[in-house]
Amino acid sequence: MVTVNIDGRDYEAKEGQTVLQVAREHGVDIPTLCHHEAIEPYGACRLCIVEITRGRRTRIVTSCLYPVEEGLKVKTNSPRVMSNRKMLVELLLARCSKNKVINQLASEMGIEKPIVRPEYLEEEDCMVCGLCVRTCEQVVGVSAISLVNRGITKEPASPFLESARDCIGCGSCYYVCPTGAIKMEDKGDKRYLYNWKVEFKLKKCKVCGNYWAPEKQLEYIRKKWNLPEGFFDICPTCK
Amino acid sequence: MTMITAVKKIGSRQDLEALRKELVKERRAERPVISLCNGTACRPYGCLKLTEDFKKELAKQGLEGKVELRVTGCHGLCEKGPIVVIQPGDIFYQQVNSEDVPEILSETITRGKIIDRLLHTDPATGRKVVHRNEIPFYRKQERNILGNNVEINLANIDDYIAIGGYTALAKALLEMTSEQIIDEIKASGLRGRGGAGFPTGTKWESCRHAPGDIKYVIVNADEGDPGAYANEGLLSGNPHSVLEGLIIGAYAIGAKQGYVYVRNEYPLSLANITTALRQAEQLGLLGTNILGSGFDFSVRINRGGGAFVCGESTALMASLEGKVGEPRAKYVHTAEKGLWNRPSDLNNVETWANVPLIINKGAEWYRKLGTEGSKGTKIFSLVGKINNTGLVEVPMGITLREIIYDIGGGIRDGKKFKAVQTGGPSGGCLPESMLDLPVDFDELSKAGSMMGSGGMIVMDETTCMVDIAKYFLTFLEEESCGKCLPCREGIKRMRQVFDEITEGRGSEKDLEFLEQLSATLIDSSLCGLGQTAPNPVLTTIRYFRNEYEAHIRDKKCPAGVCKALMHYYVIEEKCPGCGLCVKECPQQAIAFMGKKKPVVMDESKCIKCGVCYDVCKLGAIGKR
């Protein structure tokens, strides 16, 4: 165990934990967009920056990646952190000027009007945090999508921008996306994931007759866990 | 050209010494040597054909075997290539053509006569200089690392061994412990030549002490700064020096596997390091039980795909692993968890090449050169609006003025110096008032620039500093990997502000915004690319604020570079109405008004291509 000081209070932490984990365990709020407990930290959105002091050296680090150590002093909302974080939100707002989540975040940061000239405002929903891609790889285990291109053209995409062949239609990317950039829709017996240009047949429950999950996803799970055929004939509600 | 007579493994120090003596004897044979640059920069000048011409002419004049033709890497003074140096006599010929070849052989080689027209002219005195070491370009240099290029046939291990190559390896492996080597490197004060200047010995030490049996050493040859080719000149011209340093480092750190990461745009470096590797393997200088020491080590070469960001250590390692070249946070150092999560030591080409020198001559000797915080020499590619472009190697602490004026021969076409950019896109632009700054890691970063991997771009009065900052931003915008928000979005927003300023729509607030945004990029970007991206912006604002103000307030580009803010006009009193510009103007924007009457320009039709300005021999077209 090590002792870490966050915003003036000492906390016990396990070695190997990140500053963000320790802070959240004790109810200290640090905003994040690209972070999810189930997925390896990535450090793309930089919103979770904090100011740390080690010895005489003070610097800005991302709390989602920084491992705790004995005697570490952390400030989660120093003036330097706040001015940086505000500028980061400005950059998000310039890119996603119409996005609800980002606008909410901007107003929480006290931003009334974007700092960027109106003609340069973009109306993206995706801010390239990569959560969809990382979830698909690390949680689902199919890597149906990936981040493509470099720099300002970087985006999550299906292979060759064609229909994502390996996608099982589970929708994890849709659920994990913090800004609602992924469009998924269940219509009748079909599920559509528009970003990846795929559609799936949904399975009908033998009892209630509701369409409840993509057949491809259920087959993937059944094989992965070695479940008997017909295991998913009845939906969880009717079971 | 000497050849390995029989490929016999060198199994011990005695073997190495015996081979060296044999090779030296062969080299000492009393015959003249023609050392001909075949470096990358001399190739477009036709040095490959020149080499063939020399071979044919040697045969024709019956000089085969009597004269040694040494085909080497970069000699340094690239501006004046192709370069030929003749020994004995240290005679330096520049801009040599195929037609000169018979005369060089019949006059200089056979009769010892100097050919005047091929000599270098000292730009300061106008006098012809015969000997290489008397040329001002070379006089102030300390070519400890690059100097051996002229002694070595491209990627020839015999030549390298003949001049004492691999003796440092023998000393390190057979006489020194790992700790002693690391102590020596630490004591030498050597700092990483890749840009940031981290103490090399300390880096080695942490990698050595990091837990784990499998460790890696890596050569970073992914030099990507616009205008920089210092690593290229070294790796292609003397690959064995890099390899020797790498083996010594591997032994000190405890690594059995090394990697050379070379950008694929460096075909000559790639070819020569590949050859060097094969030769070292054949002689047993790589492989198992090197020189009978019991140390095993092998090296693999990886080609980089050309992404600038892959010069960053963690991105390079990701790329080596076959992943997308994206950096990661270095809160856990790569010395502990690097390539495949194993302890890894990555150093720049030039850093590795310094190692044999330190081991052979000792830290004490090495420390004599340089400043308090920066020891040894540094290679720069001196480019831009300067008379002597080329690769220079200077002692740390030399002033910018000495590099630019004494070595570089001053500014081209008698123009006025405006700025010098060091450190590539991550560096800054320093003005005339900083010319007496001693060049070392600390002084450059104090001035807002950085050492970088060795780019030094000189700019004259015709350069617009706002446009330069925009150029570097555009470069970085394209080269950002796009992983972290501040770098990806921040650089783009900065570039957009520069678009506005250079097109005459800038406002006073823009500078404030640029400074705020810069602070965020420096503090919160993931890797060095984003953290240093604001340097060109901040230094140009700091040192050339008046140019920004001219663009913003007066809507003028003082250097006449930013098209939207610049106009061509006819200087009536100078124009005799010859009509040359009328003929050349692609827009029919200039009208002929009759002989001896000045032409008339319709500015609304002008697209500012500058053809009229270029064709007018009388200076009757002005820019404002």
Q: Is residue B172 part of a domain?
A: yes
For residue B7, pLDDT beyond 70:
no
**Does the pLDDT of residue B229 top 60, yes or no?**
yes
Residue B5: predicted pLDDT: 47
Radius of gyration, CA atoms only, chain A? 21
Q: Of the candidates B332, B486, B496, which has its C-beta nearest A88's C-beta?
A: B486
- pLDDT score at B429: 93
**Chain B residues 268-307 within an 8 A CB cutoff of chain A:** 307
Q: Looking at the structure, tell me whether residues A114 and A140 fall in a common domain.
A: no
Structural contact between residues B318 and B274, judged by C-beta atoms closer than 8 angstroms: no
pLDDT of residue B567: 86
**What pLDDT score does A43 carry?**
95
A18/B contact by beta carbon, under 8 A: no
Window A:65-84, CB contacts with B under 8 Å: 65-67, 80, 83-84
Lowest mean pLDDT among B29-33, B351-355, B412-416: B29-33
Residue B488 and residue A152: Cβ atoms within 8 Å? yes
Nearest to A200 by CA among A158, A164, A156: A164
Q: Percent of chain B, pLDDT > 70?
A: 99
pLDDT tens-digit map of B160-201: 999 999 999 999 999 999 999 999 999 999 999 988 899 999
Radius of gyration of chain B (CA): 27
* Residue B585, in any domain of the structure: yes
Please check whether residues B414 and B477 belong to one and the same domain.
no
Q: Is the pLDDT of residue A76 over 90?
A: yes
Domain with A24 in it: what CATH number?
3.10.20.740
CA atoms of B488 and B477, how far apart (whole Å): 7
CATH code of residue B610:
3.30.70.20
Q: Which of B331, B346, B367 is the last residue of a domain?
A: B367
Residue B196 sits in the same domain as residue B243:
yes
Q: Are B494 and B458 in contact (CB under 8 A)?
A: no
Contact criterion met (CB < 8 Å) for B485 and A80:
no
Cβ A136 vs Cβ A164: under 8 Å: no
The pLDDT score that the predictor gives to residue B1 is 42
| Phi, psi values for residue B317, rounded to 5° | -65, -40
Nearest CA in chain A to B495: A120
- In degrees, to the nearest 5, what angle opens at C-alpha A170 toward C-alphas A168 and A173? 110
The pair phi, psi for residue B531, each rounded to 5°, is: -65, -30
Taking all residues of chain A, what is their mean pLDDT, rounded to a whole number? 95
Pick B493's closest partner by Cβ from A60, A91, A150.
A91
Q: Does B492 touch chain A (CB under 8 A)?
A: yes
Q: Do A150 and B328 touch (CB under 8 A)?
A: no
Question: For residue B331, which residues of chain A lie inside 8 Å, CB to CB?
Answer: 61, 65-67
pLDDT over threshold 90, residue B603: no
SS3 per-residue string spanning B406-422: HHCCCEHHHCCEEEEEE
Question: What percent of chain A is predicted at pLDDT more than 70?
Answer: 100
| Cβ(B154)–Cβ(B72) below 8 Å | yes
B286 in the same domain as B243: yes
Name the 3-class secondary structure at B265: coil
The SS3 assignment for B134 reads helix
- Cβ proximity of B50 and B85 under 8 Å: no
Residue B196: its pLDDT value, please?
83
Distance CA A180, CA A96 (A): 11
In chain B, residues with a C-beta closer than 8 Å to the C-beta of A43 are: 328-329, 483-484, 526
**B506 to chain A: closest CA residue:** A117
Q: How far apart are CA A108 and CA B3, in angstroms?
A: 73
Run of H or E residues at B242: helix B239-253
Give CA B114 to chain center in angstroms.
Answer: 32
Task: Tell me: do A6 and A72 sit in the same domain.
Answer: yes
Residues of A whose CB is below 8 A from B324: 147
Q: What is the pLDDT of residues B397-450, one digit of tens each?
A: 999 999 999 999 999 988 999 999 998 888 899 999 999 999 999 999 898 888
Where does B87-166 have alpha helices with state H? 101-103, 136-139, 157-162
A146 and A195 housed in the same domain: yes
Residue B486, chain A, CB below 8 Å: the answer is yes
Q: Flag the least confident range among B41-50, B342-351, B589-598.
A: B589-598
- Coil, strand or helix: which one is B345? strand
Least confident of B115-124, B319-328, B481-490: B115-124
Domain extent for A116: 81-120
**What count of other Cβ atoms lies within 10 Å of the Cβ of residue A114?**
17
Residue B538 belongs to what H/E stretch?
helix B535-543
pLDDT tens for B237-248 read 999 999 999 999
Q: Say if the Cβ atoms of A151 and B479 lie within 8 Å.
A: yes
The residue in chain A having the minimum alpha-carbon distance to the alpha carbon of residue B512 is A115
Cis ω for the linkage preceding B534 (within 30 of 0): no
- Is any Cβ of chain A less than 8 angstroms from the Cβ of B184? no
CATH of the domain at A162: 3.30.70
Is A92 in Cβ contact with B489 (below 8 Å)?
Answer: yes
Q: Is A61 on the interface with B (CB under 8 A)?
A: yes
Nearest to A84 among B489, B493, B523 (CB): B523
Contact B477 A151 (CB under 8 A): yes
Statement: residue B553 has pLDDT above 70: yes
| Residues B519, B619 within the same domain | no
d(CA B603, nearest CA chain A) in Å = 28
Asked if B172 and B308 sit in the same domain, the reply is: yes
Domain-embedded: residue A214: no
Which positions 429-458 of B are in contact with A (Cβ < 8 Å)? none
Q: Tally the residues of chain B.
A: 624
| Together in a domain, A66 and A15 | yes
Q: 3-class SS at B18?
A: helix
Q: Examine residue A114 and state whether it is found in any structural domain, yes or no.
A: yes
Q: Closest Cα of chain B to A177: distance in Å?
A: 16
pLDDT per residue as tens digits for the range B255-305? 999 999 999 999 999 999 999 999 999 999 999 999 999 999 999 999 998
Average pLDDT over residues A205-222: 95
Close Cβ partners of A107 (under 8 Å, ≥ 6 residues apart): none
Residue A18 lies in a domain: yes
Query: A59 and A15 in one domain?
Result: yes
Residue B417: CATH number of its domain: 3.10.20.600
Residues A105 and A139 in one domain: no
Does the beta carbon of B516 lie under 8 angstroms from any beta carbon of chain A? yes
Here the tokens at position B309 are 């960001």
Structural domain tally of chain A? 3
Looking at the fold, whether A137 and A91 belong to one and the same domain comes out as: no
> Is the same domain home to B481 and B346?
no
Residue bearing the bigger pLDDT, B608 or B270? B270
Contacts of B329 in chain A (CB under 8 A): 43, 61-62, 65-66
Nearest to B482 among A80, A88, A152 (CB): A152
Closest-CA residue of chain A to B509: A115
Q: Is residue A14 part of a domain?
A: yes
Clarify whether residues B383 and B351 are in a common domain: no
Assess whether B544 and B577 both reside in one domain: no
* Torsion angle, alpha carbons of A185, A186, A190, A195, to 10: 20
- Asked whether residue B261 is domain-assigned, the answer is yes
Residue A164 included in any domain: yes
Please name the helix (run of DSSP H) or strand (run of DSSP E) that holds residue B52, with its range, or none.
helix B47-60
- The CATH number of residue B534's host domain is 1.20.1440.230
Mean pLDDT of chain B: 92
Which B residues in the span 456-485 are in contact with A, Cβ-Cβ below 8 Å?
Answer: 477-485
Q: Residue A213 is inside which H or E element, if any?
A: strand A211-214
pLDDT score of A175: 97
Question: Helices B465-479 and B545-552, interaxial angle, to 10°?
Answer: 90
Task: Return the H-helix or E-strand segment holding B622.
Answer: strand B621-623
Among the partner residues A88, A116, A150, nearest to B482 by beta-carbon distance: A150
Angle at B310 between CA B382 and CA B298, to 5 degrees: 95
Q: Tell me the pairing of strands B621-623 and B568-570.
A: antiparallel
Decide if A95 is inside a domain. Answer: yes
Does residue A197 carry a pLDDT above 90?
Answer: yes
Instruction: Specify whether B544 is located in the same domain as B574.
Output: no
Tens digits of residue pLDDT in A31-45 = 999 999 999 999 999
B25 contacts: CB under 8 Å, gap ≥ 6: none
Checking if the pLDDT of B453 tops 90, the result is: no
Residues A92 and A140 in one domain: no
Assess A179–B contact: CB distance below 8 Å, yes or no: no
What the block records as the tokens of B543 is 């040192």
Q: What ipTM, to 2 d.p.?
A: 0.94
**Domain region containing B98:** 31-139
In the prediction, which pLDDT does A104 show? 96
- Asked, for residue A186, whether it belongs to a domain, the answer is yes
- Looking at the fold, whether B448 and B595 belong to one and the same domain comes out as no
Q: From the centroid of its chain, how far is CA B155? A: 19
Are B528 and B196 a contacting pair, CB within 8 Å? yes
How high is the pLDDT of residue A183? 97
What share of chain A in percent tops pLDDT 90?
98
Alpha carbon B333 to its chain centroid, in Å, reads 27
Q: What is the CATH number of the domain that holds B105?
A: 3.40.30.10
DSSP class of residue A54?
E
| Residue B51, domain member (yes or no) | yes
Pick from A75, A86, A150 the residue to mutate for testing the B interface (most B CBs within 10 Å).
Answer: A150
How far, in whole angstroms, is CA B428 from its chain's centroid?
16
- Spell out the residues 6+ positions from residue B550 whose beta carbon is closer than 8 angstroms to its own: B556, B557, B558
Q: Are residues A27 and A89 in the same domain?
A: no
Is the minimum CB–CB distance between B330 and chain A shorter than 8 Å?
no
Note whether A21 contacts B: Cβ–Cβ < 8 A: no
Would B151 be classed as within a structural domain? no
**B309 and B429: one domain?**
no
pTM across the whole model:
0.92
Q: Is residue B382 part of a domain?
A: yes
Report yes or no on B558 lying in a domain. no
- The residue out of A91, A120, A149 marking a domain boundary is A120
Calpha distance B298→B288 (Å, rounded): 8
Portion of chain B with pLDDT greater than 90, in percent: 80
DSSP B107-120: IIIII----GGGSE
B303 and B345 share a domain?
yes
Using CA atoms of A182, A183, A184, A187 in order, give the dihedral in degrees to the nearest 10: 180
Domain count of chain B?
A: 5
Which residues in chain B have Cβ-Cβ distances shorter than 8 Å to A153?
Answer: 482
Whether the CB of B524 is below 8 Å from some CB of chain A: the reply is yes
Q: Is residue A234 part of a domain?
A: no
* CA distance to partner chain B, nearest, from residue A67 (Å): 8
Report yes or no: B530 at the A interface, CB cutoff 8 Å: no
Mean pLDDT of B539-547: 95
| Helix (H), strand (E) at residue A219 | helix A215-224
Among B442-456, B507-521, B601-615, which range has the highest average pLDDT? B507-521
